[in-house]
Amino acid sequence: MTALRVALIGCGAIGTSVLELLKGDTALAVAAIVVPEEGVAAAQKLVPGVPVSSSVPAMGIDLVVETAGHAAIEEHVLPALARGTPCIVASVGALSAAGLAERLEAAAIAGRTQVQLIAGAIGAIDALSAARIGGLDSVRYTGRKPPRAWKGTPAEQGRNLDALTQETVIFEGSAREAAQLYPKNANVAATVSLAGLGLDRTLVRLIADPAIADNVHTVEAEGAFGSFELTMRNKPLAANPKTSALTVYSAVRALRNRAAALAI
């Protein structure tokens, strides 16, 4: 079977981890790496032998996977979809921007293809999506991470994260607000909301907890189907504590499912 030719957008913590896990995979071939113009030289050193450019090649690509954020979706994913190339999006939190989810859908329809949003660091997305069909009443997501994972975010306003001695709620509100204020931390909130009640009806609580070392995600849902509560304790990605390592595995799983004869 001919390997699927993949264009990887982004060569940061998630992108480089994806590359590492795909080494030796005969069903998938990384045919191009896409980074901003100023990052091309550095990426070429990281991945010798793989073409690196500042745009997705118009030809010779079977699948695009994005790991680089909102700007990459605008610049690269939307045009690729319109050309008919299927895409996998890891930066689901970017879809909290007004109209972006609708634009992705419209581009995929125009190109007669599909854009897939990965589950990332959370499980039970299939159950939540199924429950929505029967009727959901409420969905709440709680994200609990070590204080260092919230550095460089609004959580630092008015508090010293290094000095916290007990768990501290740093945000309560809608998934849309959470994803906009904490774009590098709230991909899970956006994913949960898009699978369930939407960005404005999904309740989110974010907590900085000095007593933990893992990223802890909890989803609670109730509706006509019954109810469920799921808690996951994920190890953070070594290169970026804001991201759970499971996000990388989720992206690789989505890629492998595209190439597999039998997919779960």
Q: Are 60 and 4 in contact (CB under 8 A)?
A: no
CA angle 244/247/251 to nearest 5° reads 165
| Residues marked as catalytic | 217
State the SS3 of the chain.
CCCEEEEEECCCHHHHHHHHHHCCCCCEEEEEEECCHHHHHHHHHHCCCCCEECCCCCCCCCEEEECCCHHHHHHHHHHHHHCCCCEEECCHHHHHCCCHHHHHHHHHHHHCCCEEECCCCCCCHHHHHHHHHHCEEEEEEEEEECHHHHCCCHHHCCCCHHHCCCCEEEEEEEHHHHHHHCCCCCHHHHHHHHHCCCCCCCEEEEEECCCCCCEEEEEEEEECCEEEEEEEEECEECCEEEEEHHHHHHHHHHHHHHHCCCCC
Residues in a beta bridge with 138: 222
- Two structure tokens written together for 22: 């795909």
